[in-house]
Amino acid sequence: MIESKEIKALEKEYGHLFEIDANLDRLVRRIELLSYINPINIEKEKHRFFASKFSANPNFKYPKLKFDPYKLHRLFFSQRLERIKDERIRQLYQEVIYHYSNMIQCIETIGASKRFYYNSLRVYGTPTERDVQNARYILHYEDEPPSMDMEKTYSAEEACEYFKEFSQQYGFPLNIKFSTHIAAEAMVSNSSQSLLIKKNIKFSKNQLLTLSNHEIGVHLVTTFNGLLQPLKIFSNGLPKNVETQEGLAVFSEYMGGALTLKRLKELAYRVLAADSLIKGYSFADTFDLIHGQYKLNRDEAFGITLRAHRGGGFTKDRLYLSGLRKIYKRYQKEESLDLLLMGKVALDDEDIIRYLKSLGLTKPIAHKSLSFQQKLNTNPTLDFILNNLK
């Protein structure tokens, strides 16, 4: 942990900054979008959709809000940023507050169709034409023959033990919770520093390695690195950090020897599903694109369609592929990724991070993504594809 003497010295010099940072930390704990965006009736609506022969759009229901959006907006904008004398830092915190405000608007409009979709666009954007071309380029490759590692034979309880063993090499605590209300097989809850595992499903050996490198090797690494920084915004998240963080996480899969062509295609399907939203596709339309035209099996096609259409149109998933492309380019140039592991930060934040570092307002990272030093990928097709993404 940071030495208390160092903290006191920083607080003396930057008192108003630390006061505002602490205020934002207390407020932002209430607005973890991923705890609200996943429907609570997925299985029921999936059964109904399949029974209708893929024609009856699902009617998803969502968790109730545990906060008053208007009051929370008011508390965010009541912060007296003018008391932060350093103009660059003041500008950073202004952008942070606008970002959190956008997140609140996303959460309060979940399930409100177009209203949520337009709020989602402000936070996550929409796929570019280049993203769509990259996705189609990946999907034109023939599927690889299935391997034993892809067979789903591990229970959620066995997955839990696997994750516990994997995390021991990192030296931070692993808090695992089971859930039936998440769209992914596993995900990190940043606010509770927990790994959530989907209950009542089976995992393959490859999935366990993939999730370990992705969720533990990057998302929990940046969670715990962020918590060790003097300023709480590093753990709560800087604006537009998702593309970089997901890019790092998928890159960790690649370096850890877990990334497959099947997984890369999954990210490509997500881009096409997100792109279908701006074209006005319904749930059934997007499902038909993925299952009917691209011939992905119905369960996986439903999962990808669900992820894109939840809330009313959620474009976050389009960022995994573009994030991977950007991080891979950095890797090719042999540029360090350490600054990006300092917390929930973006590639565009590197200059401000260096500035904060020059003022003594950051600490070196305590945890690194171990896969980044391993280079375990043995699939030449993946190298060829990643080298040729535009």
| 182 in Cβ contact with 200 (< 8 Å) | no
pLDDT in tens, 282-331: 999 999 999 999 999 999 999 999 999 999 999 999 999 999 999 999 99
The enclosing H or E element of 222 equals: helix 221-227
Q: How high is the mean pLDDT of the chain? A: 94
In the prediction, which pLDDT does 3 show?
A: 58
The predicted pLDDT at position 25 comes to 95
Q: Is 334 exposed, middle or buried (0-12, 13-18, 19+ CB in 10 A)?
A: exposed
DSSP symbol at 216: I
Residues with Cβ within 8 Å of 23's Cβ and at least 6 positions away in sequence, in order, are 75, 79
As a whole number of angstroms, the distance between CA 264 and CA 283 comes to 23
Interatomic CA distance for residues 182 and 63, integer angstroms: 12
Q: Strand 152-154 to strand 203-204: parallel, antiparallel, or no bridges (unpaired)? A: antiparallel
CB 35 within 8 A of CB 288: no
8 A C-beta contact, residue 287 and residue 305: yes
pLDDT of residue 64: 93
Longest dimension (CA), the chain: 65
pTM comes to: 0.94
CB 159 within 8 A of CB 196: no
| First and final C-alpha spacing in the chain | 42
Q: Can you list the residues of the chain whose pLDDT is less than 50?
A: 1-2
Query: Are 6 and 79 within 8 A, CB to CB?
Result: no
Give residue 1's pLDDT: 43
Residue 251: predicted pLDDT: 98
Residue 304 sits at the vertex; the CA angle it makes with 302 and 308, to the nearest 5 degrees, is 110
- pLDDT at position 57: 97
Q: Residue 213 and residue 272: Cα distance in Å, rounded? A: 25
